[in-house]
Amino acid sequence: MTYVISGGCAGIKDGACVQVCPCDCIHDAGEQFVINPDECIDCGACALACPVGAIFQEADVPTDQHASIVRNREFFL
């Protein structure tokens, strides 16, 4: 399982998640950050650092934010 940045990040992009990520798997996708699912080590540091609570484990992404899962994966194709 990997972490996913949801739409709550859009327009805010605080960057705290990027600063704490030990494997540099968080990338700028324009309006928001995204997490490379192949590089994420599931440490959870990003979720704890996010000031808007926009980062979830994939299985815990709210139903109304499921498009974020696709957005995160497609960015790295």
Q: Tell me what the pLDDT averaged over the chain comes to.
A: 94
Question: Where are the domains positioned within the chain?
Answer: 3-75
Res. 9: pLDDT tops 90:
yes
pTM, full prediction: 0.92
Long-range contacts of 55-60 (CB under 8 A, 24+ apart): 55/3, 55/4, 55/5, 55/6, 55/9, 55/17, 56/3, 56/4, 56/6, 57/1, 57/2, 57/3, 57/4, 58/1, 58/2, 58/3, 58/4, 59/1
pLDDT of residue 1: 64
Give the CATH fold of the 3-75 domain.
Alpha-Beta Plaits (3.30.70)
- The pLDDT tens digits for 30-52 are 999 999 999 999 999 999 999 99
Residue 75 — pLDDT band, cuts 50, 70, 90? very high
